[in-house]
Amino acid sequence: MPLLRTTRSLRTTALAGLLLAGTALAPMASATAAPLYKNPRASVADRVTDLMARMTLDDKVGQMTQGERGAATPAQSAAARLGSILSGGGSTPTPNTPAAWADMIDAYQKAATSTGLGIPIIYGSDSVHGHNNVYGATVFPHNIGLGAANDPRLVEKIGAITADETAATGVKWAFAPCLCVARDDRWGRTYESYGEVPANAVANSVVIEGLQGRALGDPTSVLATAKHFIGDGGTTGGDDQGNTQISLEELRRIHLPPFRAAVAHGVGSVMISFNSWNGVKDHGNKFLITDLLKGELGFSGFVVSDWNGIDQIDGQEGFTAAEVKQAVNAGIDMVMVPYDYQKFVATLKAEVLNGDVPMSRVDDANRRILTKKFELGLFERPYTDRSLQKDFGSAAHRAVARQAVRESQVLLKNDGVLPLAKQNNKIFVAGKNANDMGNQAGGWTLTWQGQSGERVIPGTTILDGIKAGAGKGTVVTYDRAGNGIDRSYQVAVAVVGETPYAEGQGDRPNGLGLDAEDLALVGKLKASGVPTVLVTVSGRPLDISAQLPSVKGLVAAWLPGSEGAGVADVLYGDYNPTGKLSFTWPKSSAQEPINAGDGQQGLFPYGYGLSYRRHHR
């Protein structure tokens, strides 16, 4: 076609003219073509290289900085070129809805992508048992219960649902799973551990596959975080953020295998632990972070510090240039400041300019961070995929959570009182944890510490489940304190245990016994002569040795989350209990730390759990 040919020949002449005139082809070509890093068909490695070549030191230092949403508005975040924003536990928009979360995060993305290079942020939140910061999310059993369930396939599915609900709100980075191996049950984070031996965390690290999906770029995928590296569950006395005083051999044998497994699962990030190892804070330990994690384990994702974690290196309040230098040179790639991000940015920049932090370290950190952002598809799809919100807290998701509750129940004693008859029964339910969504969900639920409250989140309490399961001719009475109990009742169910806590606020150095309210209740029920089933809702084994002889049945329910009816499914025998202890149950806290193979005789051994002899309908 003459026109086309003519056009082409004209263009050829023009190009020749430009070249002859010494005008580089690039400006004309770049005038129309996008920079390579914006080309989704280019390799991630090439996109990272191209982008980094365009970044200033301010850009690169900003990428290594994570601020809390309360510290930086979208405009401030973009001005500082922050690489990430997080929600600390309970740091939520108002209203606390998926739509409001998406609006909040999309505002950060709009500001970030409106800058010169348009590098999107990655938003992080603690989805540790579902997207637990958001009202209406499906809240799964905490890890201690999933360890007892011993069903990695189910845990992978839990990861996928958690990712789905997390991504639905615009959060593309979950600070989960905790792969800690809790060795002393007095530790406040015992419930975040799958079990007291590495095998439990190794088996359940498959949750990473669920969280990160088939490909990180899938709409429902989120970046997972193996945490906390390393030794958080091994501190002396179970002291949260304390000192893990063990040999390198024991560190490798007990606490390292879950991280090796996480790397094998392709985990995208690792969070460093607050604890010290033999007196040196992990956050400043180059041997652990660079030699062991990145070198020996070959971890190629990026390393993030914990909250204020670098502040603790010198044991003094606040962070110093020396601590920034030590933490970044140790191998930390992104620092969860989380508030004084301007001071951090200025300090790190100064440390680079004075040569104390080599540019090669900054470039390595940026390459790791940007690689994950490209793999997540954040450059192509920075905004929330709101189509996912239709499944948020769905019945289908809750059904999976209820199955996880069933499988996590551990039957520890049964003198024939279980399963409960559904028909023609008279059941007295008592205890502070029988009808309290907050207590059964535990910490990291809506707020950092969690909270008591009958209906703080939607779902079913254990009492709801017992009432719903009652059949023809059955009466169910509830009184928290057991008032009204008499011999007309055929069985009593006392749901006792702990109220919510998180981290150090859950440390119990002074004993693991029941509180006064629970002790009074057990005494009252014992005096009534009514056969009693004790159900413990707790983040760890409790000292119930003195109460055990006076009850006919004992079930460890752990922290079941939003679908408490799953506990009733086991009490009624609709599900024949399969749970097995992933923690040795101590006779008392005097035995702590007590773990499989240490020669001590607990009340119930690791791996113990009963079933009903015949399946009941």
**Closer to ligand GLC by Cβ: residue 114 or 505:** 505
Q: Decide if residue 227 touches ligand GLC (CB under 6 A).
A: yes
**Closer to ligand GLC by Cβ: residue 63 or 308:** 308
**Closer to ligand GLC by Cβ: residue 66 or 200:** 66
3-state secondary structure 387-416: HHHHHCCCHHHHHHHHHHHHHHCEEEEECC
**Closer to ligand GLC by Cβ: residue 59 or 306:** 306
Angle between helices 152-167 and 395-408 (to 10 degrees): 150
Q: How far is the CB of 396 from ligand GLC (least distance, A)?
A: 28
* 50 given a catalytic annotation: no
Q: Which residues contact 491 (CB under 8 A, 6 or more apart)?
A: 417, 420, 425, 426, 427, 428, 530, 531, 532, 533
3-class state of residue 538 by DSSP: coil
Q: How far is the CB of 129 from ligand GLC (least distance, A)?
A: 12
Q: How far is the CB of 183 from ligand GLC (least distance, A)?
A: 18
Binding ligand GLC by CB under 6 A: which of 74, 83, 89, 152?
Answer: 89
Do 540 and 144 touch, CB atoms closer than 8 A? yes
* 311 given a catalytic annotation: no
**Closer to ligand GLC by Cβ: residue 310 or 494:** 310
**Distance of alpha carbon 284 from alpha carbon 98, whole angstroms:** 37
Q: How far is the CB of 227 from ligand GLC (least distance, A)?
A: 6
Tokens of 409: 């129940």
Q: Decide if residue 307 touches ligand GLC (CB under 6 A).
A: yes
Residue ranges in 61-80 that form contacts with ligand GLC under rule CB under 6 A: none
Catalytic-role residue among 185, 306, 518, 569: 306
Q: How far is the CB of 338 from ligand GLC (least distance, A)?
A: 8
Q: Decide if residue 507 touches ligand GLC (CB under 6 A).
A: no
**Closer to ligand GLC by Cβ: residue 126 or 569:** 126
Q: Decide if residue 333 touches ligand GLC (CB under 6 A).
A: no
Q: Measure Cα distances from 404 to 138, 372, 503 in Å.
A: 12, 31, 24
Q: How far is the CB of 198 from ligand GLC (least distance, A)?
A: 19
**Closer to ligand GLC by Cβ: residue 182 or 466:** 182
Q: How far is the CB of 428 from ligand GLC (least distance, A)?
A: 40
Q: How far is the CB of 87 from ligand GLC (least distance, A)?
A: 8
DSSP state of 127: -
DSSP state of 484: T
Q: Decide if residue 156 touches ligand GLC (CB under 6 A).
A: no
Tokens of 614: 């015949």
H or E segment and range at residue 138:
none
Do 327 and 358 touch, CB atoms closer than 8 A? no
**Distance of alpha carbon 177 from alpha carbon 327, whole angstroms:** 23
Q: Decide if residue 302 touches ligand GLC (CB under 6 A).
A: no
Q: Decide if residue 306 touches ligand GLC (CB under 6 A).
A: yes
3-class state of residue 134 by DSSP: coil
Number of residues that bind ligand GLC (CB under 6 A): 7
Least Cα distance to 581 among 194, 242, 232 occurs for 194
**Closer to ligand GLC by Cβ: residue 127 or 403:** 127
Do 524 and 482 touch, CB atoms closer than 8 A? yes
CB atoms near residue 374 (< 10 Å)? 24
Instruction: Concatenate the DSSP letters of all residues of 169-184 into one string.
Output: TT--EE---B------
**Closer to ligand GLC by Cβ: residue 48 or 226:** 226
Do 328 and 344 touch, CB atoms closer than 8 A? no
**Closer to ligand GLC by Cβ: residue 235 or 474:** 235
Q: Which residues contact 544 (CB under 8 A, 6 or more apart)?
A: 513, 514, 534, 536, 554, 603
Q: How far is the CB of 543 from ligand GLC (least distance, A)?
A: 27
Q: How far is the CB of 86 from ligand GLC (least distance, A)?
A: 6
Least Cα distance to 109 among 384, 386, 302 occurs for 384
Site string for ligand GLC, 109-138 (x = CB under 6 A): -----------------x------------
Q: Which residues contact 389 (CB under 8 A, 6 or more apart)?
A: 98, 99, 102, 168, 169
Q: What is the CA radius of gyration of the chain?
A: 27
Catalytic-role residue among 192, 282, 503, 518: 503
**Distance of alpha carbon 69 from alpha carbon 71, whole angstroms:** 5
Binding ligand GLC by CB under 6 A: which of 88, 98, 177, 553?
Answer: 88
Tokens of 339: 């508030």
Site string for ligand GLC, 31-60 (x = CB under 6 A): ------------------------------
Binding ligand GLC by CB under 6 A: which of 101, 173, 175, 572?
Answer: 175
Task: Catalog residues that contact ligand GLC under the rule CB under 6 A.
Answer: 88-89, 126, 175, 227, 306-307
Active site residues: 306, 503
